[in-house]
Amino acid sequence: MDSKNKIEVKDLNLWYADKQALKDNNLHIKERKVTALIGPSGCGKSTFVRCINRMNDLIDGVRITGSILLDNKNIYDKDVDVVALRKRVGMVFQRPNPFPMSIFDNIAYGPRIHGIKDKDSLRKIVEESLVGAALWDEVSDRLGTNALDLSGGQQQRLCIARSLAVKPEVILFDEPCSALDPIATGKIEDLIHELRKKYTIVIVTHNMQQAARVSDFTGFFLLGKLLEFGKTRDIFENPKKKETEDYITGRFG
């Protein structure tokens, strides 16, 4: 049986000042599945994913219409607490962005801002999160060292661990491997495969093989519009629209 819809996007439009970046998008994201969003640069896939944790609120001049339901509750309603939303919907960015502090403090950052002070609880969360992000074995003996001393791939897994530490339900990945080499990329993909057992995952990627490898559903964006959406296998083997086919066969993009 199909799992339930975790996120339902309805008629989503977004403008940067006068420029419309997203046009009438509708999309359902299934719980505990990986949904990949592909498309050429500038097609709005990153902008789209940043609507789901209201990251676009930070940018001046952004206007959004439509709704995004998370467990049937519109996250753009006036009474929504953005802090609580972002706790439920974590995000991993294009470039690894650990804070300039120790590995431990990076992971403990989230729990601490949400009020956990007890050292033992923090230590437990840090360990669980690092284990969850497949980084524990590599760093367990040096949690006090500066996170910026880690390699790029380790830093990205640290960022994943950091978002796991606040116990999210959804994790958004915004081109998480674009700054990484193939080996580090492979590790992140394995990790995403593991994480889908517990979390709903949305991943933006410009790498189509990656979308094919890690995702259950794929959406193809072009010029701010979700052009085609379906099971990953269907999209890649039997695309309905010509633009989708052209893109995944590498004829443009």
Partner 1 sequence: MKKLFDQERVVGAALMVFSITALVILLLIMLFILDGGLPLFNKVSVSDFLLGDKWVPAKGLFGASQFIVAALLVTFGAILLSVPLGISCAVFLAEIAPGWAKRIVRPAIELLAGIPSIIYGVFALIIIVSLVRVTFNVATGETILAASIVLAIMILPIIISISQDSIESVPRLYKEGSYALGATDWQTIHRVLVPAAGPGIVAGIILAMGRAIGETMAVVLVIGNVEKMPAGLLDPGETLTSAILLEMGEAVVKSTHYNALFCLGLVPFILVLFMSVLSSRLTTKNKARFA
C-alpha 34/C-alpha 199 separation (Å) is 9
Query: Mask 126-165, x = binds partner 1 (CB under 8 A)?
Result: ----------------------x----------x--xx--
Closest of 94, 195, 91, 214 to residue 152, by C-alpha: 94
From 23-31, 41-49, 61-69, 82-90, span contacting partner 1 (CB under 8 A): 82-90
Question: Tokens 């505990």 — which residue?
Answer: 32
Q: Which of 135, 227 has the CB closer to partner 1?
A: 135
- Judged by CB under 8 A, the residue of 14, 55, 135, 202 near partner 1 is 55
Which amino acid appears at position 96 of this protein? P
**Shortest Cβ distance from residue 78 to partner 1 (Å)?**
18
Q: Rule CB under 8 A: is residue 201 a binding residue for partner 1?
A: no
159: CB partners within 8 A, 6+ apart: 92, 93, 96, 97, 98
**Tell me, what amino acid is at 217?**
F
Residue count (the chain): 253
Is residue 90 within the footprint of partner 1 (CB under 8 A)?
yes
58 binds partner 1, rule: CB under 8 A: yes
CA 197 to chain centre: 15
Could you tell me whether strands 89-92 and 34-38 are parallel, antiparallel, or unpaired per DSSP bridges? unpaired
Q: How buried is residue 75: exposed, middle or buried, by Cβ count under 10 Å (0-12/13-18/19+)?
A: buried
Among 87, 157, 187, 206, binds partner 1 (CB under 8 A): 87
Q: Find the part of the chain contacting partner 1 (CB under 8 A) among 7-15, 106-114, 231-239, 243-251.
A: 106-114
* Site for partner 1, rule CB under 8 A: 53, 55, 58, 83-87, 90-91, 93, 95, 97-101, 109-110, 113-114, 148, 159, 162-163, 166
